[in-house]
Structure 1
Amino acid sequence: MDFSIASILLVDGLTNGAIYALLGLATVLVFAVTRIIFIPQGEFVTYGALTLAILQTGKVPGTIWLLLMLAGLAAMAEAWHTWKRYKLPAKALLSGLKVLVAPVVVSLVTLWAAPQQFSLFVQALLSVGIVTCFGPLVYRLAYQSLADATPLVLLIVSVGVHFALTGLGLLFFGAEGFRNPPFWDARFSLGAVNLSGQAVIIGLASLALIVMLWLFFERTLYGKALRATAVNRLGARLMGISSQTAGQLTLAMAALIGALSGLLIGPTTTVFYDSGFLIGLKGFVAAVIGGLASYPVAALGALMVGIIEAFGSFWASAFKEVIVFTLILPVLFWRSLKTGHSDEDH
């Protein structure tokens, strides 16, 4: 291996690491606020990339029908919950309609816009809007009634949600893989390294999103409410912060990050209906390096995962996944020695 090859591998590793950083941050965010180890984070990546791919063909993506189905189920669940609590039909109906507003509006806009063959940027916005709507619905249907359950129960539910979303992805997208067009097809020569415009887009978009997340948590009321929920769930409830609203907002942000990651990674690799699991798992490795608590350490861990994956694919391509996932073992061992053990409920 000479310097030019090492430079190319380093650029590839940093590019992939930027994507893993976003997924790692989303995993840390979800766990900090809801105590959910969110295994289906990778499915949001897949749904974002494949939704854009279907829109590129001028067809209506299957995620629209899945979104409407989940919205209907969530609306009925919310209406029934409100009815049992207040015994007021009008209030129950209104609560159900509130759940339907965003998914129905996004679906109607997409049904109109899909055959119009708008620009790639408009189709990307539609894809992000569709997938983002999945977050609160998934939380409402799968997690909200179990919000006070132990992390182990929530993990088991996450595994079930992962398999459900993967199977539904096969149903609505098919087994064929798709590769999206790049958002910027320029090429830059930096000595022996050829840097693609898409790699620049990935780096800048990841950095911008991380900065926006920092500003959201530091400067906005909703961000501070999520931080309060992450620090002390009971204390946040006593201060009037709804844990249900915090959970839905957190899953919406995770879905948004996943959708954007799918759009960024779609032009660099062929995405299949089940590709999200491995991609999300690498983000999870980064989150574990950060102890499922530290955003900066998770981001640095993601860059390390991307670099090790790139160099591992050069030296032993057949074992690159094994090399990456083996990283988690010494980290878990070190944290096991450093951190005292406690009961699961605590």
Structure 2
Amino acid sequence: MNMTIMLFLMQDGITNGAVYALLGLALVLVFAVTRVILIPQGEFVTYGALTYASLSSGQMPGTARLALVMGVAAFAFDLYAARRALHWPVIARAFAVNIVLPGLVLALTVWAAGHHPPVALCIALSLIIVASIGIFLYRIAFQPLAHTSVLVLLIASVGCHLALQGLGLLFFGAEGQRGPVIADAAVMAGPLRFTGQSIAVYGVATAFIVGLWLFFGLTLYGKALRATAVNRLGARLVGIRTTLSGQIAFLLASLIGALSGILIVPITTLYYDTGFLIGLKGFIAAIIGGLVSYPLTAVAALVVGIVEAFSSFYASNYKEVIVFMLLIPVLLLRSLAAPAVEEEKD
């Protein structure tokens, strides 16, 4: 290996690591606020990417219909929860958010699919559709289980992953798709060539990391999320709506996942189940960060991306094995450092 090849591998690893960093941060955020290990994070990647690719090619994505169906189910859940005290302003707001808004998005999507809209509109529609699915997923699957154990939430998360993956096959088929690039420009730096798409990946990842830092440090909702992550019961006692905190966490996670998919679908062909493997690599970074540390998760994601790039060069058949083996020493060190806990006796 010479210096030029090493630089190419480092560039590829940093590009992939930037995407893994976004997904890892989303996983840490959701787990800290809701205690949910968000396995469907990969489906948000797939839905965002393939919705964008479908709209760009003039096809109608099934995710827009899914968002409306999930909105109707969420509205039914809200009606059942408020059955003892029906306040019409609350019901009207729930109807507008859960049914009217997804209906308008579906109508706009149907129009856009037949008129080959510009790239910016395709991106905006894809983000809105996947964000709606993320919020409704929390309302339907996780909000009723908010006070259960982490194991129950994990089982629900696995079920949501399987359901969304099957729906992805139904909506997009087994064939892979690619989307149009966001920018055609390219910049040369010595032997390295930075395309507009890779620059967009770096820029969006950096902007999201800085934006999340500012959001948590300066905004009221960000501080509410931090309080919910530290002590859910204490946050409720001081008047913080933990349900709203969970909705915001899932909204951010779905937006991050969809945007990650939109960034990588012009670079590589994505299938209905590709997002699961991408999400797992973000999960590795989140585990290395202990599911609590945002900076450590971002650094770990870059390490995962670089290890993957060098593994694909030296042992391409075993690159996935090598990447997932990064978990073994981390889990071993954490188990040795953790205090011993005696099992409860019956």
1:234 aligns to 2:224 (yes or no): no
User: Aligned-pair distance for 1:342?
Assistant: 5.5
Matches within 5 A, 1:131-210: 131-210=130-209
**More displaced, 111-120 or 293-302?**
111-120
User: Aligned-pair distance for 1:109?
Assistant: 2.2
User: Aligned-pair distance for 1:259?
Assistant: 0.6
**Structure 2 equivalent of residue 9 of structure 1:** 9
Cα-to-partner distance string for 1:197-216 (whole Å, 9 max, x where unaligned): 21111001110111111111
The DSSP-based 3-state class of the residue aligned with 2:82 is: helix
**Structure 2 equivalent of residue 37 of structure 1:** 37
8 Å contact from structure 2 (residues 52, 179) kept in 1: yes
Distance in 2, matches of 1:313 and 1:43, equals 24
8 Å contact from structure 2 (residues 66, 133) kept in 1: no
Cα-to-partner distance string for 1:283-307 (whole Å, 9 max, x where unaligned): 0000001000000000000000000
The DSSP-based 3-state class of the residue aligned with 1:270 is: coil
Question: In structure 2, do the counterparts of structure 1 residues 236 and 270 end up closer, same or farther at CA, with 3 Å as the change threshold?
Answer: same
**Structure 2 equivalent of residue 94 of structure 1:** 92
TM value normalised by structure 2: 0.95
1:274 aligns to 2:273 (yes or no): yes
Identity %: 55
**Structure 1 equivalent of residue 309 of structure 2:** 310
**Structure 1 equivalent of residue 25 of structure 2:** 25
The DSSP-based 3-state class of the residue aligned with 1:122 is: helix
Cα-to-partner distance string for 1:127-163 (whole Å, 9 max, x where unaligned): 1111111111000111111101111111111111000
Distance in 1, matches of 2:88 and 2:196, equals 53
Question: In structure 2, do the counterparts of structure 1 residues 199 and 57 end up closer, same or farther at CA, with 3 Å as the change threshold?
Answer: same
8 Å contact from structure 2 (residues 289, 296) kept in 1: yes
What runs of 5+ residues in structure 1 fail to find an aligned partner?
Answer: none
The DSSP-based 3-state class of the residue aligned with 2:193 is: strand
User: Aligned-pair distance for 1:125?
Assistant: 1.0
Distance in 2, matches of 1:11 and 1:115, equals 38
8 Å contact from structure 1 (residues 40, 161) kept in 2: yes
RMSD of aligned residue pairs (Cα, Å): 1.7
User: Aligned-pair distance for 1:114?
Assistant: 2.4
The DSSP-based 3-state class of the residue aligned with 1:175 is: coil
Distance in 2, matches of 1:57 and 1:185, equals 18
User: Aligned-pair distance for 1:92?
Assistant: 7.1
8 Å contact from structure 1 (residues 79, 95) kept in 2: no
Matches within 5 A, 1:10-89: 10-83=10-83, 85-86=84-85, 88=86
**Structure 1 equivalent of residue 107 of structure 2:** 108
Distance in 1, matches of 2:308 and 2:211, equals 27
Question: In structure 2, do the counterparts of structure 1 residues 149 and 342 end up closer, same or farther at CA, with 3 Å as the change threshold?
Answer: farther
8 Å contact from structure 1 (residues 309, 320) kept in 2: yes
Question: In structure 2, do the counterparts of structure 1 residues 342 and 172 end up closer, same or farther at CA, with 3 Å as the change threshold?
Answer: farther
Distance in 1, matches of 2:134 and 2:161, equals 13
**Structure 1 equivalent of residue 338 of structure 2:** 339
**Which runs of 4 or more aligned residues in structure 1 lie more than 4 Å from their structure 2 counterparts after TM superposition?**
341-344
